[in-house]
A and B are shown apart, each in its own frame.
Chain A
Amino acid sequence: MRFKRNIATSEAGFIFNPASGDSFSSNPIGSEILTQLKEDKSRQEIIEVIASRYDVEKNQFERDLEDFMSQLRDYNLLDEN
Protein backbone atom coordinates (compact mmCIF):
# COMPACT_ATOMS: atom_id res chain seq x y z
CA MET A 1 0.00 0.00 0.00
CA ARG A 2 1.45 3.33 -1.07
CA PHE A 3 0.76 6.92 -0.27
CA LYS A 4 -1.28 8.33 -3.15
CA ARG A 5 0.87 10.18 -5.66
CA ASN A 6 -1.46 13.15 -6.02
CA ILE A 7 -1.60 13.98 -2.30
CA ALA A 8 0.19 17.21 -1.48
CA THR A 9 2.10 17.50 1.79
CA SER A 10 4.11 20.28 3.35
CA GLU A 11 7.06 20.16 5.75
CA ALA A 12 4.77 21.58 8.41
CA GLY A 13 2.63 18.43 8.22
CA PHE A 14 -0.26 19.78 6.15
CA ILE A 15 -1.86 17.16 3.90
CA PHE A 16 -4.19 18.03 1.01
CA ASN A 17 -6.12 15.54 -1.08
CA PRO A 18 -6.89 17.33 -4.38
CA ALA A 19 -9.43 14.69 -5.39
CA SER A 20 -11.70 15.19 -2.40
CA GLY A 21 -10.69 18.64 -1.13
CA ASP A 22 -9.98 17.10 2.29
CA SER A 23 -7.13 18.56 4.29
CA PHE A 24 -5.44 17.29 7.44
CA SER A 25 -2.56 18.22 9.66
CA SER A 26 -0.13 15.82 11.24
CA ASN A 27 2.42 16.24 14.01
CA PRO A 28 6.17 16.42 13.19
CA ILE A 29 6.68 12.65 13.47
CA GLY A 30 3.69 12.05 11.20
CA SER A 31 5.18 14.51 8.76
CA GLU A 32 8.49 12.60 8.78
CA ILE A 33 6.67 9.32 8.14
CA LEU A 34 4.81 10.91 5.21
CA THR A 35 8.09 12.06 3.72
CA GLN A 36 9.40 8.49 3.92
CA LEU A 37 6.21 7.10 2.43
CA LYS A 38 6.45 9.53 -0.47
CA GLU A 39 9.99 8.26 -1.08
CA ASP A 40 8.51 4.74 -1.33
CA LYS A 41 10.34 3.54 1.77
CA SER A 42 9.14 0.18 3.07
CA ARG A 43 7.51 -0.16 6.47
CA GLN A 44 10.70 -1.75 7.85
CA GLU A 45 12.88 1.05 6.49
CA ILE A 46 10.63 3.65 8.11
CA ILE A 47 10.85 1.85 11.44
CA GLU A 48 14.64 1.77 11.18
CA VAL A 49 14.90 5.47 10.34
CA ILE A 50 12.56 6.69 13.06
CA ALA A 51 14.03 4.37 15.69
CA SER A 52 17.52 5.66 14.86
CA ARG A 53 16.42 9.27 15.24
CA TYR A 54 14.24 9.08 18.33
CA ASP A 55 14.29 7.39 21.68
CA VAL A 56 11.61 4.82 20.94
CA GLU A 57 11.35 1.05 21.13
CA LYS A 58 10.99 -0.51 17.68
CA ASN A 59 8.05 -2.63 18.86
CA GLN A 60 6.28 0.40 20.25
CA PHE A 61 6.87 2.40 17.08
CA GLU A 62 5.73 -0.48 14.90
CA ARG A 63 2.34 -0.39 16.64
CA ASP A 64 2.17 3.40 16.33
CA LEU A 65 3.02 3.18 12.65
CA GLU A 66 0.28 0.60 12.17
CA ASP A 67 -2.22 3.00 13.79
CA PHE A 68 -1.00 5.87 11.64
CA MET A 69 -1.28 3.80 8.45
CA SER A 70 -4.79 2.74 9.30
CA GLN A 71 -5.72 6.42 9.78
CA LEU A 72 -4.25 7.23 6.37
CA ARG A 73 -6.29 4.35 4.92
CA ASP A 74 -9.49 5.59 6.60
CA TYR A 75 -8.90 9.05 5.20
CA ASN A 76 -8.49 7.59 1.73
CA LEU A 77 -4.88 8.70 1.36
CA LEU A 78 -3.40 5.32 0.42
CA ASP A 79 -3.42 3.54 -2.90
CA GLU A 80 -4.99 0.15 -2.28
CA ASN A 81 -3.19 -1.44 -5.25
Chain B
Amino acid sequence: MKTETTNTSTRRKLVIAVTGLNAIDSPGPGVAVLRAIRECPDFDVRIIGLSYEPLEPGIYMHDLVDKAYQIPYPPAGTENLLHRLKYIHEQEKIDLIIPNFDAELFSFIKLSDDLNNMGIHTFLPDLGQFEARHKTMLFKFGKKHKFLIPEDRLIHQISDLTKAADELDYPLVIKGKYYDAIIVNSKDDAQKAFLQLQAKWGLPIIAQQFIKGTEINIAILGDGKGNAISIIPMRKLFITDKGKAWAGITIEESSFIDLAHQFITATKWRGGCELEVMQTNDGKAYIMEVNPRFPAWIYLTAAAGQNQPATLVKMALGEKVEPFKDYVAGKMFIRYSWDMIVEVGEFQKISGMGEL
Protein backbone atom coordinates (compact mmCIF):
# COMPACT_ATOMS: atom_id res chain seq x y z
CA MET B 1 0.00 0.00 0.00
CA LYS B 2 1.27 3.40 -0.90
CA THR B 3 0.97 6.20 1.57
CA GLU B 4 1.59 9.71 0.58
CA THR B 5 2.02 12.64 2.91
CA THR B 6 2.00 15.97 1.25
CA ASN B 7 3.43 18.99 2.93
CA THR B 8 0.00 20.59 3.02
CA SER B 9 -1.73 17.67 4.67
CA THR B 10 0.71 17.65 7.59
CA ARG B 11 0.17 21.32 8.27
CA ARG B 12 -2.30 21.92 11.04
CA LYS B 13 -5.51 23.55 9.81
CA LEU B 14 -6.43 26.48 12.01
CA VAL B 15 -8.89 29.33 12.00
CA ILE B 16 -7.35 32.34 13.69
CA ALA B 17 -9.10 35.65 14.33
CA VAL B 18 -7.01 38.79 14.68
CA THR B 19 -7.86 42.40 15.56
CA GLY B 20 -5.79 45.53 14.99
CA LEU B 21 -6.07 45.69 11.20
CA ASN B 22 -5.62 49.47 11.17
CA ALA B 23 -2.33 49.53 9.30
CA ILE B 24 -2.27 53.34 9.33
CA ASP B 25 0.37 55.91 10.32
CA SER B 26 0.09 54.80 13.94
CA PRO B 27 -0.43 51.19 13.00
CA GLY B 28 -2.20 48.43 14.85
CA PRO B 29 -0.19 45.21 15.04
CA GLY B 30 -2.82 42.94 13.43
CA VAL B 31 -1.48 42.84 9.87
CA ALA B 32 2.07 42.16 11.10
CA VAL B 33 0.81 39.44 13.46
CA LEU B 34 -1.09 37.55 10.78
CA ARG B 35 1.71 38.01 8.25
CA ALA B 36 4.06 36.27 10.70
CA ILE B 37 1.53 33.49 11.37
CA ARG B 38 0.95 32.92 7.66
CA GLU B 39 4.66 32.40 7.15
CA CYS B 40 4.88 29.60 9.69
CA PRO B 41 5.20 26.31 7.78
CA ASP B 42 3.46 24.36 10.56
CA PHE B 43 0.02 25.87 9.98
CA ASP B 44 -2.53 25.97 7.21
CA VAL B 45 -4.49 28.98 8.40
CA ARG B 46 -7.73 30.69 7.60
CA ILE B 47 -7.45 34.24 8.91
CA ILE B 48 -10.48 36.07 10.19
CA GLY B 49 -10.03 39.82 10.54
CA LEU B 50 -12.00 41.50 13.32
CA SER B 51 -12.40 45.22 12.66
CA TYR B 52 -13.99 48.21 14.33
CA GLU B 53 -14.06 50.55 11.34
CA PRO B 54 -14.83 49.84 7.68
CA LEU B 55 -11.69 51.71 6.60
CA GLU B 56 -9.19 49.53 8.45
CA PRO B 57 -6.78 48.65 5.62
CA GLY B 58 -6.26 45.04 6.70
CA ILE B 59 -9.90 44.21 5.83
CA TYR B 60 -9.07 44.68 2.15
CA MET B 61 -5.78 42.74 2.14
CA HIS B 62 -7.32 39.60 0.70
CA ASP B 63 -4.04 37.76 0.36
CA LEU B 64 -3.64 38.05 4.13
CA VAL B 65 -7.21 38.17 5.48
CA ASP B 66 -9.69 35.54 4.28
CA LYS B 67 -12.80 37.08 5.79
CA ALA B 68 -13.45 40.16 7.90
CA TYR B 69 -16.18 40.89 10.43
CA GLN B 70 -16.90 44.09 12.27
CA ILE B 71 -17.08 43.87 16.03
CA PRO B 72 -18.50 46.42 18.50
CA TYR B 73 -16.24 48.99 20.14
CA PRO B 74 -15.27 48.24 23.77
CA PRO B 75 -17.70 50.84 25.26
CA ALA B 76 -20.58 48.71 23.88
CA GLY B 77 -19.75 46.21 26.65
CA THR B 78 -18.52 42.64 26.84
CA GLU B 79 -22.03 41.16 26.36
CA ASN B 80 -22.34 42.76 22.94
CA LEU B 81 -18.85 41.64 22.02
CA LEU B 82 -19.55 38.08 23.14
CA HIS B 83 -22.82 38.04 21.20
CA ARG B 84 -21.01 39.12 18.04
CA LEU B 85 -18.17 36.64 18.57
CA LYS B 86 -20.72 33.82 19.00
CA TYR B 87 -22.20 34.68 15.61
CA ILE B 88 -18.75 34.81 13.97
CA HIS B 89 -17.78 31.53 15.64
CA GLU B 90 -20.91 29.84 14.26
CA GLN B 91 -19.80 30.83 10.76
CA GLU B 92 -16.09 30.21 11.11
CA LYS B 93 -15.36 27.76 13.94
CA ILE B 94 -12.55 29.87 15.33
CA ASP B 95 -9.65 28.07 17.06
CA LEU B 96 -7.89 31.11 18.45
CA ILE B 97 -8.37 34.87 18.85
CA ILE B 98 -5.40 37.23 19.10
CA PRO B 99 -6.55 40.68 20.21
CA ASN B 100 -4.06 43.45 19.48
CA PHE B 101 -5.47 46.66 20.96
CA ASP B 102 -4.79 47.90 24.46
CA ALA B 103 -8.32 49.29 24.72
CA GLU B 104 -10.03 45.99 23.90
CA LEU B 105 -7.83 43.69 25.98
CA PHE B 106 -9.82 44.18 29.15
CA SER B 107 -12.95 42.82 27.39
CA PHE B 108 -11.13 39.87 25.86
CA ILE B 109 -9.47 38.95 29.15
CA LYS B 110 -12.88 39.11 30.88
CA LEU B 111 -14.36 36.90 28.16
CA SER B 112 -11.51 34.40 27.98
CA ASP B 113 -13.38 31.73 30.02
CA ASP B 114 -16.52 32.13 27.91
CA LEU B 115 -14.45 31.93 24.76
CA ASN B 116 -12.63 28.87 26.07
CA ASN B 117 -15.99 27.18 26.76
CA MET B 118 -16.92 27.86 23.16
CA GLY B 119 -13.70 26.18 22.03
CA ILE B 120 -11.89 29.42 21.24
CA HIS B 121 -8.39 29.68 22.67
CA THR B 122 -6.68 32.87 23.76
CA PHE B 123 -3.24 33.45 25.26
CA LEU B 124 -3.55 36.58 27.35
CA PRO B 125 -2.27 38.00 30.63
CA ASP B 126 -4.68 37.84 33.55
CA LEU B 127 -6.42 40.98 34.76
CA GLY B 128 -3.93 41.48 37.59
CA GLN B 129 -0.95 41.41 35.22
CA PHE B 130 -2.81 43.59 32.74
CA GLU B 131 -3.74 46.27 35.28
CA ALA B 132 -0.38 46.31 37.12
CA ARG B 133 1.54 47.61 34.09
CA HIS B 134 -1.09 50.13 33.07
CA LYS B 135 0.29 53.58 32.31
CA THR B 136 -1.46 54.95 35.35
CA MET B 137 0.18 52.35 37.61
CA LEU B 138 3.59 52.08 35.97
CA PHE B 139 5.62 54.11 38.45
CA LYS B 140 4.23 52.09 41.36
CA PHE B 141 4.88 48.90 39.41
CA GLY B 142 8.51 49.95 38.84
CA LYS B 143 9.03 50.75 42.51
CA LYS B 144 7.70 47.36 43.54
CA HIS B 145 9.90 45.40 41.16
CA LYS B 146 12.92 47.76 41.24
CA PHE B 147 12.70 48.89 37.63
CA LEU B 148 13.75 52.37 36.59
CA ILE B 149 10.56 54.21 35.57
CA PRO B 150 10.26 57.96 34.97
CA GLU B 151 8.28 59.71 37.66
CA ASP B 152 4.75 60.66 36.74
CA ARG B 153 1.58 62.29 38.00
CA LEU B 154 -2.00 61.38 37.18
CA ILE B 155 -3.89 64.46 36.08
CA HIS B 156 -7.64 64.47 36.62
CA GLN B 157 -8.19 68.17 35.99
CA ILE B 158 -6.34 70.71 33.94
CA SER B 159 -5.43 72.82 36.99
CA ASP B 160 -3.33 69.92 38.36
CA LEU B 161 -0.92 70.36 35.47
CA THR B 162 0.85 73.32 37.06
CA LYS B 163 1.66 71.36 40.21
CA ALA B 164 2.92 68.41 38.15
CA ALA B 165 5.12 70.73 36.07
CA ASP B 166 6.52 72.32 39.22
CA GLU B 167 7.42 68.93 40.62
CA LEU B 168 8.66 67.22 37.46
CA ASP B 169 9.83 70.26 35.46
CA TYR B 170 9.67 70.82 31.69
CA PRO B 171 9.92 69.21 29.23
CA LEU B 172 7.08 66.92 30.22
CA VAL B 173 5.51 64.03 28.37
CA ILE B 174 1.71 64.30 28.39
CA LYS B 175 0.17 60.88 27.73
CA GLY B 176 -3.28 59.58 26.92
CA LYS B 177 -4.74 56.76 29.01
CA TYR B 178 -4.34 54.23 26.20
CA TYR B 179 -2.37 55.83 23.38
CA ASP B 180 -0.52 58.94 22.27
CA ALA B 181 2.16 60.99 23.96
CA ILE B 182 3.03 64.64 23.41
CA ILE B 183 6.25 66.29 24.60
CA VAL B 184 5.58 69.79 25.92
CA ASN B 185 7.87 72.61 27.00
CA SER B 186 5.45 75.15 28.46
CA LYS B 187 2.26 75.49 30.45
CA ASP B 188 0.31 76.51 27.33
CA ASP B 189 1.49 73.47 25.38
CA ALA B 190 0.77 71.20 28.34
CA GLN B 191 -2.82 72.46 28.61
CA LYS B 192 -3.34 72.08 24.87
CA ALA B 193 -2.03 68.50 25.01
CA PHE B 194 -4.21 67.75 28.03
CA LEU B 195 -7.39 68.87 26.24
CA GLN B 196 -6.45 67.05 23.06
CA LEU B 197 -5.78 63.75 24.83
CA GLN B 198 -8.74 64.09 27.17
CA ALA B 199 -11.07 64.47 24.18
CA LYS B 200 -9.57 61.37 22.56
CA TRP B 201 -8.97 58.96 25.42
CA GLY B 202 -10.71 60.41 28.48
CA LEU B 203 -9.25 60.87 31.95
CA PRO B 204 -6.87 60.55 33.64
CA ILE B 205 -4.04 62.05 31.65
CA ILE B 206 -0.50 61.12 32.64
CA ALA B 207 2.23 63.75 33.00
CA GLN B 208 5.55 61.95 32.88
CA GLN B 209 9.10 63.13 33.46
CA PHE B 210 10.95 63.48 30.16
CA ILE B 211 13.96 61.18 29.75
CA LYS B 212 16.47 61.90 27.01
CA GLY B 213 18.15 58.98 25.31
CA THR B 214 17.98 56.28 22.68
CA GLU B 215 14.65 54.55 22.17
CA ILE B 216 14.80 50.78 22.35
CA ASN B 217 11.73 48.57 22.15
CA ILE B 218 11.73 44.96 23.28
CA ALA B 219 9.19 42.45 21.98
CA ILE B 220 8.68 39.64 24.49
CA LEU B 221 6.65 36.45 24.60
CA GLY B 222 6.01 35.09 28.09
CA ASP B 223 4.65 31.66 28.98
CA GLY B 224 2.66 32.80 32.03
CA LYS B 225 4.94 30.85 34.39
CA GLY B 226 7.76 33.35 34.59
CA ASN B 227 9.68 32.23 31.51
CA ALA B 228 10.45 34.40 28.50
CA ILE B 229 10.11 32.24 25.40
CA SER B 230 11.34 34.95 23.06
CA ILE B 231 13.01 38.34 23.50
CA ILE B 232 13.89 40.62 20.58
CA PRO B 233 15.27 44.12 21.25
CA MET B 234 14.93 46.68 18.47
CA ARG B 235 16.40 50.15 18.19
CA LYS B 236 14.23 52.74 16.49
CA LEU B 237 16.07 54.21 13.53
CA PHE B 238 13.39 56.53 12.18
CA ILE B 239 10.64 57.94 14.34
CA THR B 240 7.46 59.58 13.02
CA ASP B 241 5.91 62.69 14.52
CA LYS B 242 3.63 60.32 16.42
CA GLY B 243 6.65 58.68 17.99
CA LYS B 244 6.23 55.46 16.01
CA ALA B 245 9.17 53.57 14.59
CA TRP B 246 9.12 53.78 10.81
CA ALA B 247 12.40 51.91 10.60
CA GLY B 248 14.26 49.86 13.17
CA ILE B 249 17.02 47.32 13.63
CA THR B 250 17.43 44.31 15.89
CA ILE B 251 20.26 44.69 18.36
CA GLU B 252 22.21 42.30 20.55
CA GLU B 253 22.74 43.80 23.97
CA SER B 254 22.65 41.57 27.01
CA SER B 255 21.40 44.31 29.36
CA PHE B 256 18.11 44.54 27.41
CA ILE B 257 17.73 40.76 27.36
CA ASP B 258 18.33 40.73 31.12
CA LEU B 259 15.78 43.52 31.64
CA ALA B 260 13.17 41.55 29.67
CA HIS B 261 13.87 38.41 31.73
CA GLN B 262 13.51 40.42 34.94
CA PHE B 263 10.19 41.81 33.71
CA ILE B 264 8.84 38.36 32.86
CA THR B 265 10.06 36.87 36.14
CA ALA B 266 8.43 39.71 38.09
CA THR B 267 5.11 39.62 36.25
CA LYS B 268 4.82 36.01 35.01
CA TRP B 269 3.45 37.64 31.88
CA ARG B 270 1.36 35.42 29.63
CA GLY B 271 1.37 36.28 25.92
CA GLY B 272 3.03 38.97 23.87
CA CYS B 273 4.08 42.35 25.19
CA GLU B 274 6.45 45.18 24.44
CA LEU B 275 8.74 47.14 26.73
CA GLU B 276 9.41 50.68 25.57
CA VAL B 277 12.80 51.56 26.95
CA MET B 278 14.83 54.77 26.95
CA GLN B 279 18.54 54.25 27.34
CA THR B 280 20.25 57.34 28.69
CA ASN B 281 23.76 58.42 27.73
CA ASP B 282 25.08 57.03 31.00
CA GLY B 283 23.64 53.62 30.16
CA LYS B 284 20.56 53.58 32.40
CA ALA B 285 17.52 51.81 30.93
CA TYR B 286 14.20 53.40 31.89
CA ILE B 287 10.99 51.51 31.14
CA MET B 288 8.78 54.19 29.63
CA GLU B 289 5.79 51.98 28.95
CA VAL B 290 4.70 48.36 28.91
CA ASN B 291 2.37 47.54 26.05
CA PRO B 292 0.24 44.51 26.86
CA ARG B 293 0.24 43.04 23.35
CA PHE B 294 2.50 42.56 20.35
CA PRO B 295 3.90 45.76 18.84
CA ALA B 296 3.22 46.81 15.24
CA TRP B 297 6.80 45.89 14.28
CA ILE B 298 6.33 42.28 15.45
CA TYR B 299 7.01 40.84 11.99
CA LEU B 300 10.67 41.74 12.58
CA THR B 301 10.79 39.01 15.24
CA ALA B 302 9.91 36.46 12.55
CA ALA B 303 12.49 37.96 10.19
CA ALA B 304 15.13 37.79 12.94
CA GLY B 305 14.46 34.11 13.59
CA GLN B 306 12.00 34.11 16.50
CA ASN B 307 8.48 34.14 15.09
CA GLN B 308 6.65 35.34 18.19
CA PRO B 309 3.08 35.37 16.78
CA ALA B 310 3.42 31.81 15.41
CA THR B 311 4.93 30.67 18.71
CA LEU B 312 2.05 32.25 20.61
CA VAL B 313 -0.35 30.23 18.44
CA LYS B 314 1.42 27.02 19.44
CA MET B 315 1.40 27.96 23.12
CA ALA B 316 -2.27 28.95 23.01
CA LEU B 317 -3.10 25.51 21.61
CA GLY B 318 -1.25 23.82 24.44
CA GLU B 319 1.93 22.88 22.63
CA LYS B 320 5.09 22.91 24.70
CA VAL B 321 7.68 25.24 23.25
CA GLU B 322 11.27 25.74 24.26
CA PRO B 323 12.66 29.26 24.75
CA PHE B 324 14.44 30.58 21.67
CA LYS B 325 18.17 31.05 22.04
CA ASP B 326 19.41 32.90 18.97
CA TYR B 327 18.29 35.65 16.66
CA VAL B 328 19.87 37.75 13.97
CA ALA B 329 21.16 41.14 15.13
CA GLY B 330 21.21 43.80 12.42
CA LYS B 331 17.94 42.76 10.79
CA MET B 332 16.10 45.90 9.79
CA PHE B 333 12.55 46.83 8.97
CA ILE B 334 11.54 49.85 6.94
CA ARG B 335 7.82 50.57 6.91
CA TYR B 336 6.08 52.05 3.89
CA SER B 337 2.68 53.34 2.83
CA TRP B 338 0.77 51.85 -0.08
CA ASP B 339 -2.45 53.00 -1.70
CA MET B 340 -4.71 49.99 -2.15
CA ILE B 341 -7.42 50.32 -4.76
CA VAL B 342 -10.74 49.06 -3.45
CA GLU B 343 -14.09 48.69 -5.19
CA VAL B 344 -16.82 50.66 -3.49
CA GLY B 345 -18.92 47.47 -3.35
CA GLU B 346 -16.48 45.98 -0.86
CA PHE B 347 -16.62 49.08 1.30
CA GLN B 348 -20.43 48.97 1.13
CA LYS B 349 -20.44 45.32 2.16
CA ILE B 350 -18.35 45.77 5.30
CA SER B 351 -20.11 49.04 6.16
CA GLY B 352 -23.64 47.76 5.60
CA MET B 353 -23.44 44.05 6.38
CA GLY B 354 -20.51 44.11 8.81
CA GLU B 355 -18.77 41.33 6.85
CA LEU B 356 -16.49 41.07 3.87
Contact = CB atoms under 8 A, between A and B. Distances in A.
Interface stretch (A14-22, A30-38, A50-58, A59-67): A14-22
A37 to B, nearest CB: 20
Interface stretch (B4-12, B189-197, B249-257): B249-257
Interface of A: 6, 8, 16, 18-21
B329 interface: yes
B46 interface: no
A18 B235 CA distance: 10
A18 B249 CA distance: 9
B237 interface: yes
Interface of A is mostly: loop
Most chain B beta-carbon contacts within 10 A, residue among A6, A8, A20, A21 = A21
Given A6-B252, A21-B249, A21-B251, A16 B235 contact: no
A8 B252 CA distance: 12
Nearest to B237: A21
Interface of B is mostly: strand
Most chain A beta-carbon contacts within 10 A, residue among B237, B250, B251 = B251
A65 to B, nearest CB: 27
A8 B328 CA distance: 13
Interface string B228-249: 0000001101000000000011
Contacts of B329: 18
B214 interface: yes
A48 B3 CA distance: 70
Interface residues on B, range: 10 to 19
B330 A20 contact: no
A44 B25 CA distance: 53
Nearest to A8: B330
The 8 closest A-B pairs by CB, nearest first: A21-B235, A18-B329, A18-B252, A19-B253, A21-B251, A21-B249, A16-B330, A18-B330
A16 B251 CA distance: 10
A79 B227 CA distance: 32
Contact of A19 (B234, B237, B251): B251
Contacts of A6: 252
B93 to A, nearest CB: 43
Contacts of A19: 251-253
A16 B329 CA distance: 10
A12 to B, nearest CB: 15
A20 B251 CA distance: 6
Nearest to B329: A18
11 contacts: A6-B252, A8-B330, A16-B330, A18-B251, A18-B252, A19-B251, A20-B235, A21-B234, A21-B248, A21-B249, A21-B250
A25 B250 CA distance: 19
Contacts of A18: 251-253, 329-330
Contacts of B253: 18-20
Interface in B89-113: none
A80 to B, nearest CB: 13
A21 B330 CA distance: 7
A73 to B, nearest CB: 15
A55 B237 CA distance: 39
B277 to A, nearest CB: 13
A48 to B, nearest CB: 33
A3 to B, nearest CB: 17
Contacts of A21: 234-235, 237, 248-251
